């Protein structure tokens, strides 16, 4: 069971996401039909630690095994989506592929779940030109922190 609950028109969501950089690009994804992009990841399940969640999400979405590395950001993210107000607690980790293989592609692609999510390798120098959320990622992905940072993001 995912750690998400609703109170009136508000949603609390516990999310984990991974920063995967390859060939000067970062991997992003979005739901089909959405305008905005985000880092790949998903909801943490009840009684599941965040690192295990990220590994599970990458296996489910892309069919790959990842190494979860440094915790980069702990983010309290407040935003509106589909008419609901979200209070999201997000843990953002750097990650690498376990087998060291390259998964870089020049074109958009779907994950193994079918046509639910679109993935794209975005050049680091173009992050400020796309609708990437939370907003702080547009600049901070270019300069990953040496230690974990706490961020409050209000969109």
Mean pLDDT of 55-65: 96
Give pLDDT, residue 102: 84
Give pLDDT, residue 55: 98
Q: Are 135 and 59 in contact (CB under 8 A)?
A: no
Instruction: Write the burial class of residue 30 (CB in 10 Å: 0-12 exposed, 13-18 middle, 19+ buried).
Output: buried
Give pLDDT, residue 114: 82
Q: Any idea how long the chain is? A: 155
Give pLDDT, residue 36: 95
> What is the average pLDDT score of the chain?
95
pLDDT in tens, 17-44: 999 999 999 999 999 999 999 999 999 9
Give pLDDT, residue 104: 86
Give pLDDT, residue 22: 94
Q: Are 25 and 123 in contact (CB under 8 A)?
A: yes
Give pLDDT, residue 10: 96
| Domains of the chain by start residue, with CATH | 4-154 (3.90.79.10)
Q: Is the pLDDT of residue 53 over 90?
A: yes
Q: What is the pTM of this model?
A: 0.95
Strand ranges across the sheet with 117-123: 21-22, 25-31, 117-123, 109-110
pLDDT in tens, 96-111: 999 888 888 889 999 9
């Amino acid at each position: 069971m995912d750690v998400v609950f609703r109170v009136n028109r508000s949603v609390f969501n516990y999310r984990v996401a991974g920063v995967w950089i390859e060939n000067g690009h970062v991997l992003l994804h979005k739901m089909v039909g959405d305008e905005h992009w985000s880092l790949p990841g998903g909801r943490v399940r009840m009684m599941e630690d965040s690192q295990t969640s990220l590994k599970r999400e990458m296996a489910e979405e892309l069919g790959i095994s990842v190494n979860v590395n440094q915790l980069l950001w702990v983010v309290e993210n407040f935003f509106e989506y589909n008419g609901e107000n979200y209070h999201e607690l997000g843990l953002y980790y750097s990650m690498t592929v376990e087998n060291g293989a390259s998964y870089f592609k020049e074109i958009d692609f779907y994950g193994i779940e079918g046509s639910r999510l679109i993935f794209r390798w975005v050049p680091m120098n173009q992050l400020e030109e796309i609708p990437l959320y939370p907003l702080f990622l547009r600049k901070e992905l270019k300069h990953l922190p040496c230690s974990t940072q706490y961020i409050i993001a209000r969109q």
